[in-house]
Amino acid sequence: VTLTSVRAALAGKRILLLGGSGFLGKVWLAHLLETVPDVGRVDVVLRGARGRASAADARRRWVALLERSPAFHPLHDRHGPALGAWLASRVRPVPGDVARPGCGLADGEDPDVDLVVNLAGVTGLDPDPRAALAVNADGAVHALEVARRAGAALLHVSTAYVAGDRLGRIPETLHPDYAPRRGERPDLEFSARREVDDLRRLLARVAEDADTQRTRDVLAERARGRLEASGRRDTQAARDRFARRERDRWLREETGQAARERARHWGWPNAYVYTKSLGESLLLERRGAVPLAVARPTIVESALEFPFPGWKEGIHTSAPITFALTHGPLRGLWARGDLLLDVIPVDVVARGLTLVAAALVSGRHAREPGAYHLGAADRNPFPVRRVTELTNLAHRLAQGSGTPAARLLRPEAVVVGERGYRLRSLPAVRRLVRGGRAALSGLLRALPEVDGVERRVAEPAGPWPSAPASWSGAWTWSRRPSSCSGRSFAIRAACSRPRRRRTSPRV
Amino acid sequence: VIPSPRMTAGLATAAFLRVEETLLPRHAVRASLALATASPGLGERWGRLGALAAAAPLLAGLGVADRRLQARLCALHLRGLSADRVALLAPEAFAGLTAGDLRPGGLEVIERARRHGHRVVLVTSGLQEALAPVAAAAGADALVGGALELRDDAVTGRLLPPSLLAGPGAVAEFAAREGIELRGSYAYGSDLADLPLLGAVGFPCVVNPDWRLAREARLRGWPLLRVAGEVSA
* Interface residues of chain B, partner chain A, Cβ below 8 Å: 37-38, 40-42, 44-46, 49, 82, 84-85, 88-89, 92, 95, 153
User: Mean pLDDT across the stretch A442-449?
Assistant: 76
H or E element at residue A324: helix A319-325
A14: β partners: A41
pTM: predicted TM-score of the whole model, two decimal places: 0.76
Chain A residues touching B153 at Cβ < 8 A = 386
Q: What is the ipTM of this complex?
A: 0.79
* Option in A393, A404, A408 nearest B84 (CB): A393
Q: What angle do CA B195, B197, B201 make, to 5 degrees?
A: 120
pLDDT tens-digit readout, A65-82: 999 999 999 999 999 999
Q: Given CA atoms A451, A454, A459, A464 in this order, what sign does their dihedral have?
A: positive
Report the SS3 class of residue B203. Answer: strand
User: Which has the closest alpha carbon to A255: A206, A208, A290?
Assistant: A206
pLDDT tens-digit readout, A259-294: 999 999 999 999 999 999 999 999 999 999 999 999
Chain B residues touching A382 at Cβ < 8 A = none
Q: For all residues of chain B together, what is the average pLDDT?
A: 86
Chain A residues touching B94 at Cβ < 8 A = none
- Please determine, for residue B214, whether its predicted confidence score (pLDDT) is greater than 60: yes
Percent of chain B with pLDDT over 70: 93
Report the SS3 class of residue B173. Answer: helix
User: Mean pLDDT across the stretch A347-360?
Assistant: 96
Q: Given CA atoms A414, A418, A420, A426 in this order, what sign does their dihedral have?
A: positive
Residues 6+ apart with CB under 8 A from A304: A345, A347, A348
- Residue A297: phi and psi, rounded to 5, are -75, 160
Q: How far apart are CA A133 and CA B161, in angstroms?
A: 61
Residues 6+ apart with CB under 8 A from A26: A20, A65, A69, A71, A72, A313
First to last CA, chain A: 77
- Please determine, for residue A480, whether its predicted confidence score (pLDDT) is greater than 70: no
CB contact under 8 A, B37 and A411: no
- Please determine, for residue B231, whether its predicted confidence score (pLDDT) is greater than 80: no
pLDDT at residue A79 in the model? 94
Amino acid identity of A110?
A: D
Q: How far apart are CA A36 and CA B46, in angstroms?
A: 56
Q: How far apart are CA B44 and CA B83, in angstroms?
A: 16
Q: What angle do CA B9, B14, B20 make, to 5 degrees?
A: 130
Q: Considering only residues B68 and A244, tell me which one the structure prediction assigns the higher pLDDT.
A: A244
A441 DSSP assignment: H
Residues 6+ apart with CB under 8 A from B183: B201, B202
Q: CB of A16 within 8 A of CB of A146?
A: yes
In total, the C-beta contacts within 8 angstroms joining chain A to chain B are 36
Q: CB of A182 within 8 A of CB of A283?
A: no
CA distances (Å), origin B44, targets A417, A465, B30: 16, 50, 18
* Option in A386, A392, A401 nearest B153 (CB): A386
Q: How far apart are CA B209 and CA A449, in angstroms?
A: 71
- Please determine, for residue A174, whether its predicted confidence score (pLDDT) is greater than 50: yes
Give the orientation angle of helix A236-266 with respect to helix A213-230, to 10 degrees: 120
Largest CA distance in chain A: 99
Q: Considering only residues B119 and A494, tell me which one the structure prediction assigns the higher pLDDT.
A: B119
Q: What angle do CA A463, A465, A470 make, to 5 degrees?
A: 125
Q: Considering only residues A427 and A128, tell me which one the structure prediction assigns the higher pLDDT.
A: A128
Chain B residues touching A409 at Cβ < 8 A = 42
pLDDT tens-digit readout, B33-44: 989 999 988 889
Confidence of residue A323 (pLDDT cuts 50, 70, 90): confident
User: Which has the closest alpha carbon to A446: A491, A485, A496?
Assistant: A485
Identify the top-confidence range among A317-326, A428-437, A472-481: A428-437
Report the SS3 class of residue A240. Answer: helix
User: Which has the closest alpha carbon to A283: A296, A297, A301?
Assistant: A296
Confidence of residue B140 (pLDDT cuts 50, 70, 90): very high
Top residue of B37, B52, B86, B155 to mutate, by most chain A CBs within 10 Å, is: B37
User: Mean pLDDT across the stretch A33-53?
Assistant: 86
pLDDT at residue A52 in the model? 60
First to last CA, chain B: 25
User: Mean pLDDT across the stretch A29-56?
Assistant: 88
User: Which has the closest alpha carbon to B131: B26, B5, B14?
Assistant: B26
